[in-house]
């Protein structure tokens, strides 16, 4: 995951407090700082759970350590949150700003944003 003007976020594994448990994995900034809980070890049971866990942890780390909302909806300038769409894909959801400025909407799939929050454009074949 990337943010404008910053190095990509990374997964950071640290020894668990309990010697019988697997390592605790966090989403951290490039310098190794993180905020919040470690990823749920059970999230590795499905790709969708793992993606949701990483998206939530990345957002928590960015918001708490860098004091900025992320990712931002380019249309409304509001922070977006992960939510499943009608096809059960994880997408970034924007609450919109009400009827005056636009309704709530799904913006892009998690993993499909560039550093500005715009959808990554891919070539169709």
Same domain, 6 and 36: yes
Please state the domain count of the chain.
2
Q: Round to whole Å and give the CA distance between 36 and 108.
A: 25
User: Are 53 and 95 part of one and the same domain?
Assistant: no
Q: Determine the pLDDT at residue 53.
A: 92
Q: How many CA atoms lie within 13 A of 46 on its CB side?
A: 5
Model confidence at 108: pLDDT above 90: no
Of 99 and 52, the structure prediction assigns the larger pLDDT to 52
**What's the DSSP call for residue 103?**
-
pLDDT per residue as tens digits for the range 23-76? 999 999 999 999 988 999 888 888 888 899 999 999 999 899 888 888 888 888
Query: 24-28 and 10-14 as β-strands: parallel, antiparallel, unpaired?
Result: antiparallel
Q: Say if residue 50 is in the same domain as residue 105.
A: no
């Amino acid at each position: 995951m990337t943010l404008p003007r910053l190095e990509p976020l990374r997964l950071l594994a640290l020894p668990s407090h309990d010697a019988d448990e697997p390592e605790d994995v966090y989403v951290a900034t490039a310098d190794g700082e993180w905020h919040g809980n470690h990823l749920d070890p059970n999230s590795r049971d499905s790709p969708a759970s793992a993606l949701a866990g990483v998206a939530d942890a990345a957002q928590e780390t960015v918001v708490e350590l860098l004091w900025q909302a992320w990712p931002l909806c380019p249309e409304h300038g509001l922070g977006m949150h992960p939510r499943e769409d009608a096809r059960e894909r994880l997408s970034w959801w924007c609450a919109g700003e009400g009827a005056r400025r636009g309704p709530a909407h799904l913006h892009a799939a998690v993993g499909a944003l560039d550093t500005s929050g715009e959808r990554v454009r891919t070539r169709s074949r």
